[in-house]
Structure 1
Amino acid sequence: MIADFHFLRPLWLLALAAVPLLIYLVTRRGDVRSQWQDMIAPHLLDHLLIDKGGKRRFQPVHVTAALIAVAAIAAAGPTWQRERPPFVEDTAPLAIAIDLNPTMNATDVSPTRLERAKLKVQDILDRRKGSRTALFAYAGSAHMVLPLSDDAALVKSYLAALSPQIMPVEGKDTAKALQEVEKALANETVPGTILFMTDGVERSAFPAFGGYQGRNSLMVLGIGTAEGGPVKTADGGFLTDATGAHVRAKLDVDGLKALQSASKAEVASVTSDDADVSWIIRRIQTNFAAKTAEGLTRWHDLGWWLTIPIAVFGLFWFRRGWTIRWAVYLLAATSLMGSERVEAADNRFIDLWLTPDQQGRRAFEQGDFQGASETFADPAWRGAALYRAGRFQDAIDAFAESDTAESYYNQGNALLHLDKAEEAIAAYEQALKRRPDWTDAQKNLEIAKKRKADKDKQEQDAQQEQAGIDPDQAQFDDKGKKGTEATVQGGPQTADMWMRNIQVSPADLLARKFAIEAKEAAP
């Protein structure tokens, strides 16, 4: 914190030079001896002066000098903390890779290691509401289950379908999983966190973790115990070895410790309470804040705190006794007024010291977005407060008061919340006309276009169902050759919309998807 201390407007510190100059000039002007010493002999001057040089230690000039000094420091903008702008997500994107080896069905952690991992993921989703989370699964091969999405219900539905039975390749390839997750996050504009949930990382994967040069943070949560436990099978029995004895899978504690020493990955083991989840959430936020400090945040001007000592110094300028009578009169008046009048008086008092935008910013930082929206005069900040308060249509009206790229970008964000993808597309396009190289606007424009395409597809399917056509049945027009020509994009960016519309169970879908991907990746 000390290393981060600096002034946002250091030129205001030049006003500090006026402090000693003011003290010198006022003191010299009030010194009678110095005024007459050139006119009257020193041995006579001592007898002519009533005050023989004695001076009060504390004079009004000292109060004025202190006020100027403090005001100059406040105007210079001292700071050592960063603040985030209102339209940057508060949490980082998170990609969770879950180990689906058969040993994850060991029962040393109740009910099983895999089920405990699923419960931990659900807790993480509940703690990160509104944040984007991606889901991956790996064994001998690695696959994306869901791309980054803020739909926690969708993530949970496919999380429940994960099991070792859906994996097409046996074994464990954690390095491949890291490669797949990193590839999926390559186009993200902000750094994220990659979390592995596993009962061990094979030594062959250590070089991939140790040599990792990506911008995302790596975390590993070990699931299991050092004592181990029997491994359940799909038919409800237990895995046995050649002698018929139950196989006991143990958590590779030594391997996890070695991984932590050999790489920058942060490693921890599962706990019976939510301590592990809290640790994960804290590390995600800390890593995100550290990696985005320069690009996505700005320094928080803390100089306004110095208005308090400035006000205290100002009190010294009241005449003696007058401030006491004023306080008594104010107390008597407020005691006779009703609560509404007192509140109105308080508001008028605040208006004397803070502008509407300053009052709105104060309410905004305290989480009172509704109150902030009623106070802000600046349309951009008023729109931000309305947006945070969930009043998206009112936020759009506020943003529309200005014709800037930021205004159209924020309008697009609010329109997406109202499920008005077509209007959001127009807003983002206007933002890009004013700032063609704005990456965030380009990304959100693509999201809006995909959402519109998804909505159009749903409407088309609904029309086909009303016409008696099953959307899951292939319809061929061999005679007329007049079918609609289209290109279906099957990349990760449309996987979440595709999975919403599919009519098979999530487990069957994932098994088929993983099998196809493994077959395509085979040499």
Structure 2
Amino acid sequence: MALLGPAYGVTQQPVRTAGKDVWLLVDLSRSMDATDVIPSRLQKAKLELSQLINRFQADRIGLLVFAADAFVQCPLTYDQSALRLFISTLQTNLVPVGSTDLVPPLELILARMEATSRPAGSVARATAVVVISDGEDFGENIEPTLRLLARSGVRLFTVGVGTLEGARIPRLSGGGFVRDNKGREAVTRLMPTTLRRLAQQTGGQYFELTDQRNEFPQLVNALNRLEGQAEQVRTVAVADNRYRLPLLLALALLALDIIFTVRVIRP
């Protein structure tokens, strides 16, 4: 019976992990509907993100979306099924139309880091931010926010989605393509220079997702190298193994068998 490992009840046990927090920031500006990356920049990014989260079982992952404003779609979580569901629902019409601004989502992350309490003397979890965008426009005065991120130990990784040749932007309804102020069809292009600079300022790296190149595997490797920079103790429920009782009973019976011998007298 002891070998069967009988269990009764549940105990809470601390488990020390070397996980990290990963924030996914997805650009939902209208240019992400461009089809220079098939089926579109956003749809291709969603597919890669759904596969990426499978590689980080021990880490918390959160999802923010941004364009003219920023919103937390999914807070930091270990629940990959929920996160995958939120990723699948991303569309460019979820955020207000306007100039793309990267400052609000970065400030949201900083605010959540400050609001997170941890025991005195403990080490902060390693935090990484992954920005998925074509890099066309990130607003102004982003430098102070980047300096705050760097001082907080946050690594900013950027993924440029699109091509240098660019593509037209489909309208969300009515057919046709988006036009500029002069009535010409607007063409959106990948702007790697800005994305590369953002990553370099925080010790991160720049990667690309184009029609010819997919550097998401390199992104996964870069994020994995952050593993072990900080430890966290998680409490998990474990079934209480009660093998000791039948084992002690078996040992007692064995001892009695050795001590008390039975002599059989045959006629």
Structure 2 spans left out of the alignment, 5+ residues: 1-13, 119-123, 246-267
CA distance in 1, matches of 2:83, 2:200: 32
Equivalent of 1:280, from 201, 214, 219?
Answer: 219
Provide the secondary structure at the position in 1 that maps to 2:103: helix
Q: 1:208 aligns with which of 145, 151, 161?
A: 145
Q: Deviations over 1:468-523 (max 9, x none)?
A: xxxxxxxxxxxxxxxxxxxxxxxxxxxxxxxxxxxxxxxxxxxxxxxxxxxxxxxx
1:134-173 superposed matches below 5 A: 134-168=62-96, 170-173=98-101
Contact in 1 for aligned 2:171/2:177 (Cα 8 Å)? yes
Q: Does 1:245 align with 2:181?
A: no
Aligned pair partner of 1:104 in 29, 32, 36: 32
In the TM superposition, what whole-angstrom CA distance separates every residue of 1:297-321 from its partner, at most 9, and x where no partner exists?
9xxxxxxxxxxxxxxxxxxxxxxxx
Q: Deviations over 1:333-371 (max 9, x none)?
A: xxxxxxxxxxxxxxxxxxxxxxxxxxxxxxxxxxxxxxx
Q: Which has the higher contact order (CA 8 A, sep 6+)?
A: 2
Residue 241 of structure 2 aligns to a residue whose secondary structure is helix
Q: Which residue of 2 aligns with 1:397?
A: 241
Cα pair 1:142 1:176 within 8 Å, conserved: yes
Q: How many matched pairs?
A: 219
- State TM-score, norm by structure 2: 0.71
The alpha carbon displacement at 1:122 in A equals 0.5
Paired with 1:185 and 1:116, the residues of 2 have a C-alpha distance of: 30
Aligned counterparts of 2:97 and 2:105: Cα–Cα separation in 1: 13
Q: Is the 8 A contact 2:165 2:189 kept in 1?
A: yes
* Residues 53-72 of structure 1: pairs in structure 2 closer than 5 A: none
Give the number of the structure whose alpha-carbon radius of gyration is greater. 1
CA offset at residue 87 of structure 1? 2.5
Unmatched tracts of structure 1, length 5 or more: 1-85, 298-386, 402-523
1:214–1:273 CA distance, 2 compared to 1 (3 A): farther
Distance 1:216 1:253, change over 3 A: closer
Rate the CA distance shift 1:111–1:277 in 2: closer, same or farther, 3 A. same
**Deviations, residues 122-173 of structure 1 (Å, cap 9, x unaligned):** 0111222353211101111111011112222211222122222121362211
Q: How does 1:244-393 map to 2 (within 5 A)?
A: 244-271=183-210, 276-289=215-228, 291-292=229-230, 392-393=238-239
- SS of the residue aligned with 2:16? coil
**TM-superposed deviation, 1:262:** 4.3
Partner of 2:59: 131
Distance of 1:192 and 1:252 partners within structure 2: 25
8 Å Cα contact 1:105-1:231 kept in structure 2: yes
Check conservation: 1:197, 1:221, Cα contact below 8 A: yes
CA distance in 1, matches of 2:134, 2:213: 18
Distance in 2 of aligned mates of 1:284 and 1:90: 13
Amino acid at match of 2:162: G
Structure-2 change in CA distance of 1:237 and 1:251 (3 Å) = same
Contact 1:203/1:255 (8 A) holds in 2? no
Q: Name segments (4+ residues, structure 1) moved above 6 Å.
A: none
Given candidates 111, 114, 133, the residue that maps to 1:198 is 133
Query: Which whole-Å CA distance do the structure 1 matches of 2:216 and 2:35 have between them?
Result: 21
Amino acid of the structure 2 residue aligned with 1:194: V
Between the two proteins, what is the percent identity of the paired residues? 21
Report SS of the residue matched to 1:215.
Answer: coil
Q: Give TM-score scaled by structure 1 length.
A: 0.38
| One-letter amino acid of the counterpart of residue 241, structure 2 | D
Q: Secondary structure at the match of 1:245?
A: coil
Distance 1:273 1:180 in 2: 33
Q: Compared with structure 1, are the counterparts of its residues 259 and 194 closer, same or farther at alpha carbon in structure 2 (3 Å cutoff)?
A: closer
2:33–2:41 Cα contact (<8 Å) kept:
yes
Residue 256 to residue 130, structure 1, CA distance change in 2 (3 Å): closer
